[in-house]
Amino acid sequence: MCVAVPSLITAVDGTEAEVDIGGISRKASLMLTPDAKIGDYVLIHAGYAISIVDREEAEATLELFRELAEGIEPEELNS
Protein backbone atom coordinates (compact mmCIF):
# COMPACT_ATOMS: atom_id res chain seq x y z
CA MET A 1 0.00 0.00 0.00
CA CYS A 2 1.23 3.50 -0.84
CA VAL A 3 0.41 6.63 1.07
CA ALA A 4 0.83 10.05 -0.49
CA VAL A 5 0.61 13.09 1.76
CA PRO A 6 -0.76 16.48 0.65
CA SER A 7 1.91 19.13 1.11
CA LEU A 8 2.05 22.87 0.46
CA ILE A 9 4.88 24.15 -1.76
CA THR A 10 6.59 27.06 0.00
CA ALA A 11 9.65 27.48 -2.26
CA VAL A 12 10.91 26.21 -5.61
CA ASP A 13 14.50 25.91 -6.82
CA GLY A 14 14.61 24.34 -10.27
CA THR A 15 13.13 20.86 -9.97
CA GLU A 16 13.27 20.85 -6.17
CA ALA A 17 10.66 22.26 -3.83
CA GLU A 18 10.49 23.02 -0.15
CA VAL A 19 7.15 21.70 1.10
CA ASP A 20 5.27 22.09 4.37
CA ILE A 21 3.73 18.97 5.84
CA GLY A 22 1.87 19.84 9.03
CA GLY A 23 4.40 22.49 10.03
CA ILE A 24 7.45 20.41 9.08
CA SER A 25 9.53 21.45 6.07
CA ARG A 26 10.94 18.87 3.67
CA LYS A 27 12.50 18.89 0.24
CA ALA A 28 10.70 17.13 -2.59
CA SER A 29 11.42 16.59 -6.25
CA LEU A 30 9.18 18.28 -8.82
CA MET A 31 10.47 16.16 -11.71
CA LEU A 32 7.07 14.45 -12.04
CA THR A 33 5.08 17.68 -11.62
CA PRO A 34 7.00 20.38 -13.51
CA ASP A 35 3.96 22.73 -13.54
CA ALA A 36 3.77 22.87 -9.72
CA LYS A 37 4.46 26.28 -8.19
CA ILE A 38 4.62 28.05 -4.84
CA GLY A 39 1.20 27.92 -3.15
CA ASP A 40 0.16 24.66 -4.82
CA TYR A 41 -0.64 21.54 -2.86
CA VAL A 42 1.02 18.41 -4.17
CA LEU A 43 0.84 14.77 -3.16
CA ILE A 44 4.25 13.65 -1.86
CA HIS A 45 5.29 10.01 -2.08
CA ALA A 46 8.85 8.78 -1.52
CA GLY A 47 10.25 12.29 -1.87
CA TYR A 48 8.51 13.08 -5.15
CA ALA A 49 5.54 15.33 -5.85
CA ILE A 50 3.40 12.91 -7.86
CA SER A 51 0.43 15.19 -8.60
CA ILE A 52 -0.98 18.65 -7.98
CA VAL A 53 -4.17 18.56 -5.92
CA ASP A 54 -7.03 20.94 -5.27
CA ARG A 55 -6.54 23.11 -2.16
CA GLU A 56 -9.91 22.11 -0.65
CA GLU A 57 -9.23 18.41 -1.18
CA ALA A 58 -5.74 18.72 0.33
CA GLU A 59 -6.98 20.62 3.38
CA ALA A 60 -9.82 18.13 3.95
CA THR A 61 -7.36 15.23 3.78
CA LEU A 62 -4.95 16.93 6.20
CA GLU A 63 -7.84 17.52 8.61
CA LEU A 64 -8.70 13.81 8.49
CA PHE A 65 -5.06 12.97 9.26
CA ARG A 66 -5.18 15.35 12.27
CA GLU A 67 -8.39 13.76 13.54
CA LEU A 68 -6.91 10.28 13.21
CA ALA A 69 -3.74 11.33 15.04
CA GLU A 70 -5.76 12.83 17.89
CA GLY A 71 -7.57 9.52 18.35
CA ILE A 72 -4.37 7.51 18.86
CA GLU A 73 -3.34 6.92 22.45
CA PRO A 74 0.39 7.50 23.15
CA GLU A 75 0.96 3.85 24.12
CA GLU A 76 -0.48 2.77 20.74
CA LEU A 77 2.30 4.67 18.96
CA ASN A 78 4.95 2.43 20.55
CA SER A 79 3.25 -0.84 19.57
How sure is the predictor about 70, in pLDDT bands with cuts at 50, 70 and 90? Answer: confident
Strand partners, 25: 20
pTM summary value? 0.82
Is 72 a residue whose pLDDT tops 80?
no
Assess if residue 79 is contained within a domain.
no
Tell me whether residue 32 is in a domain. yes
pLDDT digits (tens, 9 = 90+) for 32-61: 999 999 999 999 999 999 999 999 999 998
Is 20 among the domain residues? Answer: yes
Q: Classify residue 5 as exposed, middle or buried by CB count within 10 Å of its CB (0-12, 13-18, 19+).
A: middle
Give the helix/strand (H/E) hosting 60.
helix 55-70
What is the CATH number for 13? 2.30.30.140
Tell whether 78 is covered by a domain: no
Task: Indicate left, alpha or beta for 46 from its phi (over 0: left) and psi (-120 to 50: alpha).
Answer: left
pLDDT of residue 68: 85
